[in-house]
């Protein structure tokens, strides 16, 4: 174990990997303590939705527990194809492809489509799987400052002419800062420099835009405005897996050539069935997205009013609450746990030094009373620790 983590255990400050007994909904049980969850990626609370349980049971009975093969050969089930059609419709693209993890989706997409002679330009705060995809691809890659379109322009101006093809990749909603990429400007700049665009909507799907369809919904973009939409089935969608939604020829190419499709076992059909049902629920139950958006607006206002620094987080369920150095951040999270709230402390190297934070994730299923209790607790702890 690393020295810092050893000390956390020694001083009783370790709040990572605490085993949750049962469903990870907005209330969880750890040992004999019941806690309010403030760190779940199941933003819409679909993880505890009765329809999801029903579909999972039915799919298990119909398909069994695994796919029994890779997608290219014998691992494709009818439900995989139904899910891919649904994702394509949801993202208003021609087609889509599903992989067995979001992490792997980024790795395989980038390394299949781009290589030597190409350049990949990424936001400094893009997810680790995008960095790893760049490394695997053997393309050159460069970073621009977070959400800084002027810096993106500079990188493209300085480098575009040296490469055959260029791909600009951003996270739609940034997982550590909870802010949204300025997609209309990014698309425009990429177009001016004859470059492709890709957006990772792991935290945007089901959370932003009036219909929860993601960044295109939020910015009211035209269908296909972004060349490649990537998303996960492990967050607002309470399953596992990742997808790419794009033009048909891109998806067909990926189906025959991307290593994670050709050489890795298919997503279990049960997970595909759950994902399909979750997308149907998002489309039909508009109250869910409304509750989520009401809850995150209420929470962020409350935290800001107390004087906490929440960076530029706005209109997303991820609210970073800056605490300071590592140990202070761990101490704060430990105090929250003592009061009955589970929230993950995020520290260096995941975020810059001294910018340790609680990454608060609001859910559609939090009640107003629960959010009020969280805010009251944060006021008490924040004052006692002199954070506010
Ligand atoms: N992209 C982003 C922005 C993420 O936050 C994550 C996971 N936290 C992934 C990709 C990987 O997705 P998965 O966990 O479904 O593999």
- Mean pLDDT by 10-residue block, N- to C-terminus, for the chain (388 residues)? 80 88 96 97 98 98 97 97 98 98 98 98 98 98 98 98 98 97 98 98 98 98 97 98 98 98 98 98 98 98 98 97 95 97 95 94 98 98 97
Which of 252, 284, 316 marks a domain boundary?
284
Q: Which ligand 1 atom lies nearest to the CA of residue 240?
A: 15
Look at residue 57 and tell me if it is in a domain: no
Picking from 284, 302, 333, the residue at the C-terminal end of a domain is 284
Q: How many whole angstroms separate alpha carbon 80 and alpha carbon 77?
A: 5
Judge whether 53 lies within some domain.
no
Spatial distance between the Cα atoms of 203 and 129, rounded to a whole number of angstroms = 14
Contact 142, 124 (CB under 8 A): no
- CATH number at 366 reads 3.90.1150.10
242 and 28 in contact (C-beta within 8 Å)?
Answer: no
The confidence score (pLDDT) of residue 355 equals 92
Asked if residue 342 lies in contact with residue 36, where contact means CB atoms within 8 angstroms, the answer is yes
Tell the residue nearest (CA) to atom 5 of ligand 1. 175
Q: How much is the pLDDT for 360?
A: 98
Query: Does ligand 1 lie within 6 Å of residue 175's CB atom?
Result: yes
- Domain membership flag for residue 96: yes
User: Looking at the annotation, which residues are catalytic?
Assistant: 175, 203, 235
- Residue 250 Cα, ligand 1 centroid: separation in angstroms? 22
Per-residue confidence (pLDDT) for residue 5, from 0 to 100:
81
Whether 106 is covered by a domain: the verdict is yes
Alpha-carbon span 287 to 68, nearest angstrom = 38
Same domain for 344 and 368? yes
Q: Are strands 166-171 and 119-123 parallel, antiparallel or unpaired?
A: parallel
Number of domains comprising the chain: 2
Question: What atom of ligand 1 comes closest to residue 106's alpha carbon?
Answer: 10
- Ligand 1 contact via 171 beta carbon (within 6 Å): yes
pLDDT of residue 6: 83
Query: Does residue 376 belong to any structural domain of this protein?
Result: yes
Q: Are residues 146 and 165 in the same domain?
A: yes
- The domain that contains 70 carries what CATH number? 3.40.640.10
- Phi, psi (degrees; rounded to nearest 5) at 167: -120, 130
Residue in 235, 371, 203 with CA at minimum distance from that of residue 296: 371
Closest-CA residue, ligand 1 atom 4, reads 202
Q: State whether the beta carbon of 232 lies less than 6 angstroms from ligand 1.
A: yes
Same domain flag for 180 and 315? no
Where on the phi/psi map is residue 30: left (φ > 0), alpha (ψ -120 to 50), or beta?
beta
Regarding whether 149 and 72 lie in a shared domain, the answer is yes
Do 295 and 362 share a domain, yes or no? Answer: yes
- The verdict on 161 and 220 lying in the same domain is yes
Residues 233 and 301 placed together within one structural domain of the fold: no
Q: Is residue 58 part of a domain?
A: no
Distances (CA, A) of 142 to 92, 104, 124, 131, 175: 30, 21, 9, 10, 20
**Do residues 291 and 237 both lie within one domain?**
no
| Index of the ligand 1 atom closest to the CA of residue 234 | 15
**Where on the phi/psi map is residue 324: left (φ > 0), alpha (ψ -120 to 50), or beta?**
left
Residues 249 and 303 in one domain: no
Integer Cα distance of 65 and 54 in angstroms: 15
Q: Which of 100, 122, 129, 133 to mutate to test the pocket of ligand 1 (most atoms within 8 A of CB)?
A: 129
Give distance in angstroms: CA of 103 to centre of ligand 1: 6
Ligand 1: which of 175, 236, 244 to mutate, most ligand atoms within 8 Å of CB? 175
CB 284 within 8 A of CB 92: no
Mutate to test the pocket of ligand 1, among 234, 271, 346 (most ligand atoms within 8 A of CB): 234
- Among 259, 284, 309, give the residue marking a domain's end: 284
Has residue 38 been placed in a domain? Answer: yes
**For the chain, what is the largest distance between any 2 Cα atoms, rounded to a whole number of angstroms?**
61
Please report whether residue 59 resides in a domain: no
Asked whether residue 299 falls in the same domain as residue 217, the answer is no
The boundaries of the domain holding residue 72 are 64-284
Question: How many angstroms separate the CA atoms of 172 and 201, rounded?
Answer: 5
Question: Are 254 and 110 part of one and the same domain?
Answer: yes
Residue pointed to by tokens 């995020």: 346
Nearest CA to ligand 1 atom 6: 202
Q: What is the pTM of this model?
A: 0.97
Do 121 and 203 belong to one domain?
A: yes
């Amino acid at each position: 174990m690393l020295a810092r983590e050893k000390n956390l255990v020694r001083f009783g400050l370790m709040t990572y990997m605490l085993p949750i007994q049962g469903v990870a909904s907005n209330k969880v049980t750890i040992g004999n303590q019941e806690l309010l969850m403030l760190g779940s990626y199941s933003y819409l609370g679909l993880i505890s939705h009765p329809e999801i349980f029903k579909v999972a049971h039915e799919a298990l009975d119909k398909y069994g527990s695994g796919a029994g093969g890779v997608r290219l050969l014998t691992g494709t089930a009818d439900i995989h194809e139904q899910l891919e059609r649904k994702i394509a419709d949801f993202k208003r693209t021609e087609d889509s492809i599903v992989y067995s993890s979001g992490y792997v989706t980024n790795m395989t997409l980038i390394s299949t489509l781009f290589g030597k002679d190409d350049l990949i330009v990424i936001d400094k705060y893009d997810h680790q799987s995008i960095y790893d995809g760049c490394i695997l691809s053997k393309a050159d890659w460069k970073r621009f400052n977070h959400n800084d379109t002027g810096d993106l322009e500079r990188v493209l101006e300085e480098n575009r002419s040296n490469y055959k093809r260029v791909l600009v990749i951003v996270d739609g909603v940034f997982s550590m800062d909870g802010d949204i990429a300025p997609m209309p400007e990014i698309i425009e700049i990429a177009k001016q420099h004859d470059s492709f665009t890709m957006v990772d909507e792991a935290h945007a799907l089901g959370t932003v835009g009036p219909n929860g369809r993601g960044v295109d919904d939020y910015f009211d973009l035209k269908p296909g405005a972004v060349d490649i939409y990537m998303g996960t089935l492990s967050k607002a969608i309470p399953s596992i897996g990742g997808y790419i939604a794009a033009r048909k020829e891109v998806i067909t190419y990926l189906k025959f050539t991307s290593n994670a499709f050709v050489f890795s076992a298919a997503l279990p059909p049960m997970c595909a069935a759950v994902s399909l049902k979750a997308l149907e629920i998002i489309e039909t139950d508009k109250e869910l997205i409304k509750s989520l958006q009401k809850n995150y607006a209420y929470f962020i206002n409350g935290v800001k009013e107390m004087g906490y620094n929440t960076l530029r987080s706005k209109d997303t369920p991820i609210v970073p609450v800056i605490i300071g150095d590592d140990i202070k951040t761990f101490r704060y999270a430990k105090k929250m746990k003592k009061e009955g709230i589970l929230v993950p402390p995020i520290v260096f190297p995941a975020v810059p030094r001294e910018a340790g934070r609680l990454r608060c994730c609001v859910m559609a299923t939090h009640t107003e009373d629960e959010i009020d209790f969280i805010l009251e607790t944060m006021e008490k702890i924040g004052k006692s620790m002199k954070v506010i």
